[in-house]
Structure 1
Amino acid sequence: MKRQLLMHVVMAVLVAGLLTMVACSKPKVADPGTMNQGQTGETDAQRAARLEAERAARLEAERINAQQLEDQQQAQIIEAKSRFLNHNILFDFDSAELSDQAKDLLREKAYWLQANSSVTVMIEGHCDERGTTVYNLALGERRATTVRNYLVDLGISAQRLGTVSYGEEKPLDPAPTEAAYRINRRAQFVIR
Structure 2
Amino acid sequence: DSKNERIAGLQQSVADSNASVARLERNLDTLGAEIERLQSLSRPELIDLMQAGIEMDVLFRTDEDVLTDTTGDRLAQLAGTLSSMPDIHIQLDGFADERGAADYNQALSERRVQFIRDQLVAAGIHPERINTSAHGESAAQDESSDSYALERRVSVKLFLDNTPSLASN
Please give the secondary structure, in 2, of the residue aligned with 1:120.
strand
> Which residue does the alignment assign to 1:186?
153
> Which amino acid counterpart does residue 68 of structure 2 have in structure 1?
S
Cα distance between partner residues in 1 of 2:77 and 2:45 = 18
Root-mean-square deviation over aligned CA pairs: 2.8
Deviation at 1:121, TM superposition (A): 2.0
Q: Identity across aligned pairs (percent)?
A: 30
1:144 corresponds to 2:107: no
Cα distance between partner residues in 2 of 1:76 and 1:118 = 13
Q: Rg larger in 1 or in 2?
A: 1
Number of matched residues? 119
Contact 2:60 2:149 in 1 (8 A): yes
Q: Deviations over 1:51-109 (max 9, x none)?
A: xxxxxxxxxxxxxxxxxx94xx5456667x59x83331110000001112321331243
> Which residue does the alignment assign to 2:143?
176
Cα distance between partner residues in 2 of 1:177 and 1:89 = 19
> Which amino acid counterpart does residue 127 of structure 2 have in structure 1?
A
> Which residue does the alignment assign to 1:167?
136
Relative to the length of structure 2, the TM-score reads 0.59
Q: Which has the larger displacement, 127-136 or 138-147?
A: 127-136
Contact 1:85 1:188 in 2 (8 A): no
Structure-2 change in CA distance of 1:107 and 1:75 (3 Å): farther
Cα distance between partner residues in 2 of 1:125 and 1:160 = 17
1:1-192 equivalent positions in 2, closer than 5 A? 70=42, 73-75=43-45, 85-169=54-138, 171=139, 173-190=140-157, 191=159
- Structure 1 residue ranges, 4+ long, deviating more than 3 angstroms after superposition: 73-79
Relative to the length of structure 1, the TM-score reads 0.53
Structure-2 change in CA distance of 1:168 and 1:116 (3 Å): same
Contact 1:89 1:105 in 2 (8 A): no
Contact 1:125 1:141 in 2 (8 A): yes
Q: Deviations over 1:13-33 (max 9, x none)?
A: xxxxxxxxxxxxxxxxxxxxx
Q: Mark the runs of 5 or more structure 2 residues left unpaired by the alignment.
A: 1-40, 162-169
Cα distance between partner residues in 2 of 1:184 and 1:150 = 21
Q: Mark the runs of 5 or more structure 1 residues left unpaired by the alignment.
A: 1-68
Higher strand proportion (structure 1 or 2): 2
